[in-house]
Structure 1
Amino acid sequence: MKVAKLPTILVIVQVLFIVFFAIFADYAPSANAKYPENSKDADKGGADPSKNKLHSLYDMFQHVHVMIFIGFGFLMTFLRRYGFSSVGFNMLIAAFVIQWHMITHGLLHMATEHSSSFKIDIESLLTADFAAAAVLISFGAVLGKTSPLQLIVMAFIEIIVFVCNEYIGLYFFKASDVGGSMFVHIFGAYFGIAAARILYNSKVEDSKKEGSNYHSDLFAMIGTIFLWLYWPSFNSALAPGDDQHRAVINTYLALASCVIVAFAISSNSKEAKFDMVHVQNATLAGGVAVGTSANFMIGPWGALLIGSVAGAISVVGYKYITPYLARRWKAHDTCGVNNLHGMPGILAGLFGAIFASFASVDRYGNGLYEIFPARAPMENSTKLLEIQANFTISAGDDRSAVQQGGYQFLAMAVTLIVALVAGAITGFIMKMSPLDPVKERHLFDDGHYWETPSDFDEAVQFCNGTDNCETVNLKSFDDEKNAEDPDN
């Protein structure tokens, strides 16, 4: 019965997904053959293929899709004995979240819009990938320390909270976060860290399996390169027109400057050598840090500055903050998501609030109201009618720049609090014995979950930063642990 638990739950979940989609989901007009405009030729007033959402978004969607399944998956293969799980569980979680997010997000909007169904189009697929990114960031914090069943439960709960938090930020605070640095990166990082704190096992610190080797680090760099190349698409996919163009430029520049500073700070040691952990992760921090303000008029120099600061903060985080959190607060963060997603996400929120506080019509033109809809004049005001004569916008709240900046900061603060509280509660749920918490001997090890090749149990050398190396056969190591504590 224990062996069948996970596959049984997965099959039941997928059947429920099919039922939900059958009852509540439908194609959006741009993908629906029944839509009247799709039954006419374009020259007869029908749908123009070049104006279909797919035409403008599919390339960006595929870039983000690659980031989710290859970028995040391979970035976590640095653990020498957890590569199958890193890529495999990444794929499982993402496939689960994509469907669950469409349902959760769709039901919420059905309730608020009093609709009988939710519509699916290319934008739905894109936002589902964004949600998957948040959960995969959380996965990084608990990597190697959780069972597949625990991960499914974490993803199930996290998406419900994620959708509600994002709705509050976008529709109540009316914050702008085009690259998801607040609603995706901050949320995912601190949800995962809070769960990791509750799941903390003192034996983790003693595990001989948490570590990399030459080849696992090389595989992880594949993930880094894919993420680095496609991050401009992640930050700009949902932005329109010139906003999208600007977001690509700002993200590109932030990533470039981040690499230079990350390498510089990484090699600033007595040995003057680069640390592959920093190169794999800190070089991406610029993409996170510029996410909130990617479509703002921050100037090319501003993008370079944000990327530089993010690279420095991320490397410092890996050197000092990660070990401090594990030692002092028992928050063991396997992938260091605090350094790549958490702190750079907070940096993005702060920069977003600052830049929003100085945004003006003089600098943005009418595009100001596209980026910050709440700053548009109120309904039926003379100013609104004057703007609408030349530019299509909806009525807003007539916020000042400072007020918008305040709401930007508030959205970030609420996201951080919600993530920490919800992550901690989820951590307690994940500790329940029916969810198969990971035993000490199975930490950071594929052997318990996967069929492994014959060379999986070869002896591994541990040097622990000294010249006194110890050769350990990890299969024998497991057998010894089992003999010492057969119930562990």
Structure 2
Amino acid sequence: MTFLTTQCFLTYAGFQDVHVMIFIGFGFLMTFLQRYGFSSVGFNFLIAAFSLQWATLMQGLLHGLHDGKIAIGVESMINADFCTGSVLISFGAVLGKTSPLQLLIMAIFEVTLFAVNEFILLSLLGTRDAGGSMTIHTFGAYFGLMVTRILYRPNLDKSKHKNSSVYNSDLFAMIGTIYLWMFWPSFNSAITEHGDPQHRTAMNTYYSLAACTLSTYAMSALTAHDGKLDMVHIQNAALAGGVAAGTAGEMMLTPFGSMIVGFLAGIISVLGFKYLSPILEAKLKIQDTCGVHNLHGMPGILGAVVGAITSSVVPKEVYGNGLKKVFPDVANGVRDTSYQGAMQAASIAVTLGIALFGGLVVGFILKLPMLGAPHDNACFEDSIYWEVPGEEHHMEELTAVRTEEDEKLNS
């Protein structure tokens, strides 16, 4: 009885850590825009509260039914938060360019597709992805990137002066970064088996984050002309190690291996922010506001690849009696380690396929005029949706400009 009580307490403690990441970490991380702080935190709050309820239903219907009823518990709450995290990653890609109604509709479809992808990977393919490098980060990033590609705004330069940070907004965003960085070991280990797998996951994530932070600082200074640090890199790339350790965290990655993974994740993420994001916008017309491709997309794929390699090359004898907790199908003789690795690799393709196709369809749905997307000159602006103290005059100016543009279009 005492053992079960301790397990429940540890699971609930992990849930609380994940909950903090969803509502504070993600929310404040997106407050870097100078005039969009209310919306970043406020819409994050709205979408998360809606998504976790919808996720409980969708995940429950697909793989949580017991005697025809959806089983609810702390673990299902954690899984709902994981699904919500994927939606919030996509939110980062379209941040500042969408209405609350568009975001809620995106959440309805994305949660549903997330549950389908999760069912295919975990239930049908037997994939191991405790920290969600594939199911959460890769899926959320590429779904959001496809949506923002379909919602491309050729005249977004009208709001370009607001698509930037100021001193205080960057400071607020660092609050989100620190919360996420601190609680990421709990995020990755929240639903792993108690005992060695959970300890390994927390440990591997811990060292991956530490190494990632060092490589982020180094690369940020090296890629700058004057050697100064870029706050965008520190806010985001320093977290890439947590993303990259998501799939292989519970495996025999070892602290040394996890530090290598984190170190590479930091480098990839910084280079993405510095060089790849401008190319994606100029050539592929992908306007990724938060740079989710660099923080979640590429590190997520890195983590998935590391998971496939680790599951293939580490002999099952290394796990000893704990093999059944990490790879139950391998322990039962249903498959060998090579086959497990192949399923891990195949899961990357499945995730990318569902995310990109789903984002394509949802993007076209969100283009419907009735959903109230903000005008090109009113993007990244709180006063469109919020009562902002002292902004009444500014709101009147925006309304006048918007009315003038509508009249020109109608004529």
CA contact (8 A) 2:316 2:337 kept: no
Taking the aligned partners of 1:76 and 1:309, their CA distance within structure 2 comes to 24
Select which of 205, 213, 224 maps to 2:166: 213
Question: What do residues 84-123 of structure 1 show as CA deviations (whole Å, max 9, x unaligned)?
Answer: 000000000000011101111112236xx57321111111
**Structure 1 partner of 2:202:** 248
Instruction: Call closer, same or farther: CA 1:313–1:478 in 2, change over 3 Å.
Output: farther
Question: What do residues 211-238 of structure 1 show as CA deviations (whole Å, max 9, x unaligned)?
Answer: 1111111100000000000000001111
**Structure 1 partner of 2:108:** 156
The answer to whether the aligner puts 1:368 opposite 2:323 as a matched pair is yes
The answer to whether the aligner puts 1:88 opposite 2:42 as a matched pair is yes
Taking the aligned partners of 2:140 and 2:13, their CA distance within structure 1 comes to 25
Instruction: Call closer, same or farther: CA 1:484–1:196 in 2, change over 3 Å.
Output: closer
TM-superposed CA distance for 1:206, in Å, is: 4.0
Q: Which amino acid aligns with 1:88?
A: G
Taking the aligned partners of 1:197 and 1:210, their CA distance within structure 2 comes to 17
The answer to whether the aligner puts 1:228 opposite 2:164 as a matched pair is no
Q: Which amino acid aligns with 2:377?
A: R
Query: Which SS does the other structure have where 2:131 is aligned?
Result: coil
**Structure 2 partner of 1:425:** 361
Instruction: Call closer, same or farther: CA 1:104–1:159 in 2, change over 3 Å.
Output: same
Q: Which amino acid aligns with 1:275?
A: D
The answer to whether the aligner puts 1:74 opposite 2:28 as a matched pair is yes
**Structure 2 partner of 1:107:** 61
**Structure 1 partner of 2:94:** 142
Select which of 288, 291, 310 maps to 1:336: 291
Query: Which SS does the other structure have where 2:147 is aligned?
Result: helix
**Structure 2 partner of 1:416:** 352
CA contact (8 A) 1:49 1:55 kept: no
Q: Which amino acid aligns with 2:219?
A: I
TM-superposed CA distance for 1:372, in Å, is: 1.3
CA contact (8 A) 2:378 2:398 kept: no
Structure-to-structure mapping, 1:310-349, within 5 angstroms: 310-349=265-304
Taking the aligned partners of 1:429 and 1:480, their CA distance within structure 2 comes to 27
Question: What do residues 359-385 of structure 1 show as CA deviations (whole Å, max 9, x unaligned)?
Answer: 22321112222211221235xxxxxxx
Q: Larger RCO: Structure 1 or Structure 2 (Cα < 8 Å, ≥ 6 residues apart)? A: 2
Query: Which SS does the other structure have where 1:412 is aligned?
Result: helix
**Structure 2 partner of 1:239:** 192
Select which of 385, 404, 408 maps to 1:483: 404
Query: Which SS does the other structure have where 2:155 is aligned?
Result: helix
Taking the aligned partners of 2:50 and 2:205, their CA distance within structure 1 comes to 29
CA contact (8 A) 1:67 1:230 kept: yes
CA contact (8 A) 2:241 2:299 kept: yes
Identity between Structure 1 and Structure 2 (%): 50
Taking the aligned partners of 1:204 and 1:73, their CA distance within structure 2 comes to 23
CA RMSD of aligned residues (A): 1.8
Taking the aligned partners of 2:388 and 2:382, their CA distance within structure 1 comes to 8
The answer to whether the aligner puts 1:63 opposite 2:11 as a matched pair is no
Taking the aligned partners of 2:3 and 2:360, their CA distance within structure 1 comes to 47
Instruction: Call closer, same or farther: CA 1:474–1:270 in 2, change over 3 Å.
Output: farther
Taking the aligned partners of 2:404 and 2:16, their CA distance within structure 1 comes to 49
Question: What do residues 286-334 of structure 1 show as CA deviations (whole Å, max 9, x unaligned)?
Answer: 0000110011111111011000000000000000111111110001100
* Bigger mean CA deviation after superposition, 338-347 or 268-277: 268-277
CA contact (8 A) 2:158 2:377 kept: no
Taking the aligned partners of 2:187 and 2:21, their CA distance within structure 1 comes to 8
CA contact (8 A) 1:131 1:162 kept: yes
In the superposition, the TM-score normalised over structure 1's length comes to 0.80
Structure-to-structure mapping, 1:162-241, within 5 angstroms: 162-207=114-159, 208-240=161-193, 241=195
Taking the aligned partners of 2:6 and 2:67, their CA distance within structure 1 comes to 23
Query: Which SS does the other structure have where 1:317 is aligned?
Result: helix
Taking the aligned partners of 2:50 and 2:66, their CA distance within structure 1 comes to 27
The answer to whether the aligner puts 1:357 opposite 2:309 as a matched pair is no
* Bigger mean CA deviation after superposition, 66-75 or 350-359: 350-359
Query: Which SS does the other structure have where 2:71 is aligned?
Result: strand
CA contact (8 A) 1:82 1:446 kept: yes
Taking the aligned partners of 1:56 and 1:300, their CA distance within structure 2 comes to 23
Taking the aligned partners of 2:371 and 2:93, their CA distance within structure 1 comes to 18
Query: Which SS does the other structure have where 2:380 is aligned?
Result: coil
Taking the aligned partners of 1:482 and 1:308, their CA distance within structure 2 comes to 51
Taking the aligned partners of 1:246 and 1:457, their CA distance within structure 2 comes to 54
Select which of 439, 447, 469 maps to 2:375: 439
Structure 2 runs not aligned, ≥5 long: none
Q: Which amino acid aligns with 1:177?
A: D
Taking the aligned partners of 1:457 and 1:226, their CA distance within structure 2 comes to 34
TM-superposed CA distance for 1:484, in Å, is: 4.9
Select which of 65, 83, 100 maps to 1:131: 83
Query: Which SS does the other structure have where 1:333 is aligned?
Result: coil
Taking the aligned partners of 2:346 and 2:313, their CA distance within structure 1 comes to 17
TM-superposed CA distance for 1:54, in Å, is: 3.1
* Bigger mean CA deviation after superposition, 50-59 or 433-442: 50-59
In the superposition, the TM-score normalised over structure 2's length comes to 0.95
Q: Which amino acid aligns with 1:274?
A: L
Between Structure 1 and Structure 2, how many residues are aligned? 406
Question: What do residues 147-196 of structure 1 show as CA deviations (whole Å, max 9, x unaligned)?
Answer: 00000000000011100100000011101111011000000000000000
Q: Which amino acid aligns with 1:209?
A: K
Question: What do residues 116-152 of structure 1 show as CA deviations (whole Å, max 9, x unaligned)?
Answer: 2111111111111101000000000000011000000
Structure 1 runs not aligned, ≥5 long: 1-46, 379-396, 459-472
Runs of 4+ aligned structure 1 residues displaced above 6 Å come to: none
Instruction: Call closer, same or farther: CA 1:256–1:475 in 2, change over 3 Å.
Output: farther
Taking the aligned partners of 1:288 and 1:260, their CA distance within structure 2 comes to 16
CA contact (8 A) 1:134 1:188 kept: yes
Question: Quick check: which one's helix share is greater?
Answer: 2
